[in-house]
A and B are shown apart, each in its own frame.
Chain A
Amino acid sequence: GAVVSQHPSRVICKSGTSVKIECRSLDFQATTMFWYRQFPKQSLMLMATSNEGSKATYEQGVEKDKFLINHASLTLSTLTVTSAHPEDSSFYICSADPTGRETQYFGPGTRLLVL
């Protein structure tokens, strides 16, 4: 159990376009999901906490208007990178926290390349 999927696994886009990444919990419900970003050879950086039915909580330094998060159901959270630029190229990973538990399970990640 505790499987988290992400789609797409890899995306290449032109600068200025928007990219949507989906994160789904396949076999459990998650009131909370987390979005991380990881640059090459660096540690995970928490971007935001996504709460079902309410606004996401963003970490300091993360632009909420650039990284739009929607958690419309107990199994789906989406991250939209708006007007992407080359510096947004990174590995985006979501994790989900099964309702009533503390353990987080990670999705396989989405590698974004902005040209």
Chain B
Amino acid sequence: QKEVEQNSGPLSVPEGAIASLNCTYSDRVSQSFFWYRQYSGKSPELIMSIYSNGDKEDGRFTAQLNKASQYVSLLIRDSQPSDSATYLCAVNDGQAGTALIFGKGTTLSVSS
């Protein structure tokens, strides 16, 4: 059974701080990793994808991947109240057309 684990939170950070979201996965053959943001009552929105070990930066977001440790993380710098949402980690085996395996999500709350 392939699993993706996330701390459900809530993770509370003050405005301007760095929020760190973590995710582990069970299947070593996983090749593609994604972070989605889901606001309450809305559908998930893709914010980052990462395929290689190391860091990938996009604006205030940095995804980090360590395949040896089966660990992927998302850092949000200069957190804003608008970042308050549930963040979903997802992985797949790298083949187009296969379903993503989602974690249950981490709820982030950024206080002003």
Contact = CB atoms under 8 A, between A and B. Distances in A.
Interface in B50-87: none
Interface of A: 31-32, 34, 43-44, 46, 49, 51, 91, 93, 97-109
A101 B104 CA distance: 24
B99 A34 contact: yes
B99 A46 contact: yes
Main secondary structure of the interface of B (DSSP, over half): loop
Contacts of B109: none
**Interface residue range, chain B:** 20 to 34
Contacts of A32: 96-97
Nearest to A42: B104
Contacts of B43: 91, 93, 106-109
Contact of A97 (B42, B96, B103): B96
B99 A49 contact: yes
B22 interface: no
B100 A43 contact: no
